A and B are shown apart, each in its own frame.
Chain A
Amino acid sequence: MQLYLPIAEVAVNLYLLLGLGTLVGMLSGMFGVGGGFLITPLLFFMGIPPAVAVATGANQIVASSISAVLAHLKRRTVDLRMGTVLLIGGLIGAGLGVYVFNLLREMGQVDLLVRLCYVVFLGVIGALMFVESLRALMQSKRGAPPRRRHHGWVHGLPFKMRFRTSGLYISAIPPLMVGVSVGLLAAIMGVGGGFIMVPAMIYLLGMPTKVVIGTSLFQIIFVTAFTTLLHATTMYTVDMVLALALIVGGVVGAQLGAVIGAKLRAEQLRILLALLVLGVCGKLALELLLTPSELYLIDAPGVG
């Protein structure tokens, strides 16, 4: 069944949209990533104008993240205090990011820069996570106790705060910086930023994996809601019909994902996420390297 989208002005298959929403919702529930890095390219692929895809993707992430956060709250795996600190940084970063994005657009080549950002970030993070979690998995198989990581400089900073849920007593500066950089990237790359925040929380802040996911989702809700409003008021590119179709699939998927995520072990969860990140990175890199089938691209400034 075809569904006509009033803002995007294209018709797409409703079942395809529902399926896409479910898939991304499952990822969101399992890994705590918003899924923006997947949903946005997939929407391009369906012929939806990029600006609409980015803006509506943000709106969809709000819904799937809320659904997942509520599931995590019930299991007490959300560090609200840490989330708030991250959020403050995130909003500052998002504001900065919009400014940088407009600056880049005037210079041209935004598209390329966004893609390169994706390839570099996804590649580095995916590889790091994969190696690290593989090592952890092997250690736990050998029966050795998981080695507690030491965080030299992170512990030397002032403004220490106690994050009880995470079992941490660290300075507020590193989480704030993580928040700012994620907000910055979120605005430039049009994603929630979970795929960067989750590894940053695990490896930089040393938070336990189980708490990381809920907390990251908590922060993503606010950043994406902010982004949605920004896009709706400045570019008129949020398509409510498209968002609704994705949301319906997404909320179902998020619940499934949270259940599956609770059953998997932390190391396995991380390996899966690492493979996923590497897969998307590889695909984007190939698109940049291989000769495209169509060298030309139509850009309608009016539609965005």
Chain B
Amino acid sequence: MRRLFALLICLALPAAAQDEEVVLGLSQNQVSITANFDGSEILIFGAIKRETPIPEDPLEVLITVAGPQQELVVRRKARRFGIWVNTDAVEVDAAPSFYAVATSAPFEQTISAVEDLRHSVSIPRAIRSVGAPMSINDSQAFSEAVIRIRRDNGLYQLREETVSLREQTLFDTSIAMPASLTEGAYPTRIFLTRGGTVISRYETVIDVRKVGLERWLYNLSREQPLVYGLLSVALAIAAGWSASAAARYLRDG
């Protein structure tokens, strides 16, 4: 009888999960990269809509912001004949150019390992790497290197307990994006969890794009590379000549 009751609760849980939904707001859903772009802070806030009473288990919120996926080659140096040489290389099939995870509680308490695996939430899970050559036994070290290098550059961030949650209903956090951003769509996910299990998820996209002169130059360089190249050289010649002319003018009074 007790076992049946437990089973019933299990069956009832997913239904109850749907009762809590995220209503989201973003301080900006577009990041414009201008010439003096110096990083951006995005405020992510929202509320949890529910029609049932708040369950006993504490609610936790987890937010991820990811940059466009890139294919990478990670190289490792080793000493050969006394000098340091790139020897081993591992291809990482897809790694986000930027990845931030913000949680309302310590990461392990917010989401269970199984759910992390299922939804690819934590930083190591966000990197997909399969093809390591046979000669390399420790391909794990290569993914770890990507995480370490990018974390040091502020591109990968794990921000535990930075989502503030009030009355299990209102939440907000801010994600700092560094100046070195790649253009593209930045998928943003919000997970609601109870006891480590995801009970609701919500997805949106933050658009990061170059604007103005930056946009124009970038497009020109891709669409008309010859014109762009000639323009670069012409600019250099003009600058060199005018500097020389200015110097002569100054010297001769």
Contacts and interface: CB of A to CB of B under 8 A. Distances in A.
A71 B243 CA distance: 10
Nearest to B85: A112
Interface in B229-253: 229-233, 235-237, 239-245, 247-248
B130 interface: no
Contacts of B210: 6
Interface stretch (A80-88, A150-158, A208-216, A228-236): A228-236
A146 interface: no
Nearest to A112: B85
Classify chain A's interface size.
35 or more
A240 B228 contact: yes
Query: B33, B74, B225, B248 — which one has the most chain A CB atoms within 10 A of its CB?
Result: B225
B52 interface: no
Nearest to B183: A9
B179 A229 contact: no
Contacts of A59: 232-233, 236
Nearest to B233: A225
Interface in A132-184: none
B37 A2 contact: yes
A109 B78 CA distance: 13
A300 B72 contact: yes
Given A62-B237, A299-B73, A238 B38 contact: no
Contacts of B86: 109, 111-112, 297
Contacts of A291: 79, 84
Instruction: Bin chain B's interface residue count.
Output: 35 or more
A239 to B, nearest CB: 8
Contacts of B74: 296-299
A10 B179 contact: yes
Contact of A294 (B149, B225, B248): B149
Given A6-B217, A233-B226, A296-B76, A244 B241 contact: no
Given A74-B248, A232-B221, A6 B214 contact: yes
Contact of A238 (B141, B183, B229, B240): B229
Nearest to A296: B145
A59 B36 CA distance: 22
Contacts of A111: 86
Contacts of B231: 240
B149 A298 contact: yes
A67 interface: yes
A247 B239 contact: yes
Contacts of B89: 299
Interface of A is mostly: helix
A72 B130 CA distance: 58
Interface in A1-39: 1-4, 6-7, 9-11
B95 to A, nearest CB: 9
A240 B142 CA distance: 34
A228 B180 contact: no
A232 B37 contact: no
Contacts of B82: 289
B34 interface: yes
Interface string A246-258: 0110011011000
Contact of A232 (B141, B181, B232, B247): B232
Nearest to B245: A70
A297 to B, nearest CB: 5
B199 to A, nearest CB: 36
Interface of A: 1-4, 6-7, 9-11, 47, 59-60, 62-67, 70-71, 74, 109, 111-112, 225, 228-229, 231-234, 236, 238, 240-241, 243-244, 247-248, 251-252, 254-255, 287-292, 294-303
Given A241-B217, A295-B76, 7 more contacts: A2-B37, A6-B214, A7-B217, A67-B241, A71-B247, A232-B229, A299-B74
24 contacts: A4-B37, A7-B218, A63-B243, A64-B240, A66-B236, A67-B243, A67-B247, A70-B244, A71-B244, A225-B233, A225-B237, A229-B229, A243-B236, A251-B242, A294-B145, A295-B76, A296-B75, A296-B148, A297-B74, A297-B75, A297-B86, A298-B72, A301-B71, A302-B70
